[in-house]
Structure 1
Amino acid sequence: MLIPFFLTPKQEVVVLSPQNTMRQALEKMEYHRYSAVPLIDERGKYVGTITEGDLLWKIKNTPSLSFENTHKILLTEVPLHITNKPVKITARIDSLLRLAISQNFVPVVDDNEVFIGIVKRSDIIEYCADLLEKKEGKVG
């Protein structure tokens, strides 16, 4: 099994730029009902993952910041509290699985660190559940 088997390509992934504002991030995350979104820079490289928690902590720790003025704060000004490590498309599947244990999704990059998509933990679990179901069906 190879990583591309599980890949959701970047064209199908909701992403943000570090140059987006907090307001844009909040609205995009609310619209798509996501709690975390990959950050991709102007060169197409994965630079981190912004989470709802990061946005909430920024609001909490900035006394003058309210929802009304989040359009003034770039995501470059929001500290990231969780590190979603990427995996290279050529990596071994066990590298992907180890990261998926603690990440809802694993960003996938090419050899030049350019973002090419994500692997969702739910897709891995669904694949494993299907394998178990097939195995039980053959035994039972």
Structure 2
Amino acid sequence: MAGDIDPTIEPDGSPELPLAQVAKGKRSAYLGAFRALTEKEITTPAVAMTLIERVEQLEAEKAQLGIYKDKYHEIDKELAVLRANHGGNLGNDLVFGVTLSAGFAAIGYAPSVWDQKGAGGVLLAIGIVVVLVGIAARAVRK
């Protein structure tokens, strides 16, 4: 008859948890014991004291974890602010780089065409305007 008992089933019919799933700690030995208690045994002072102690232990652990939760939210907000302030805007950087390059290229090429009916002056003016537009685009971003 002793051979008919399945060691993986608790007396109350619930399946036994594998050892890897059982919480490691001071009270892990009590996990199986509380499942096997009857209603009469649960009302004893020793069980009540053990349950009260476990509740107090869980409340203390919750309070400790609450500190980490608050710290997490503070750091998360700080990270969001830093990303917003220092995160690069690729489009704006591209406009800045292209306008400066084109403007300075026009300014540099202007002396080469200076003798052709005012083309050098127009190219110089366009180059200066394009450089100023690039600088203004960068200033507006910040």
User: Which has a greater percent of helix?
Assistant: 2
Bigger strand fraction: 1
- How does the TM-score come out when normalised to structure 1? 0.20
Flag the structure with more relative contact order, 1 or 2, with Cα contacts below 8 A and sequence separation at least 6: 1
Give TM-score scaled by structure 2 length: 0.19
Structure with max Cα Rg:
2
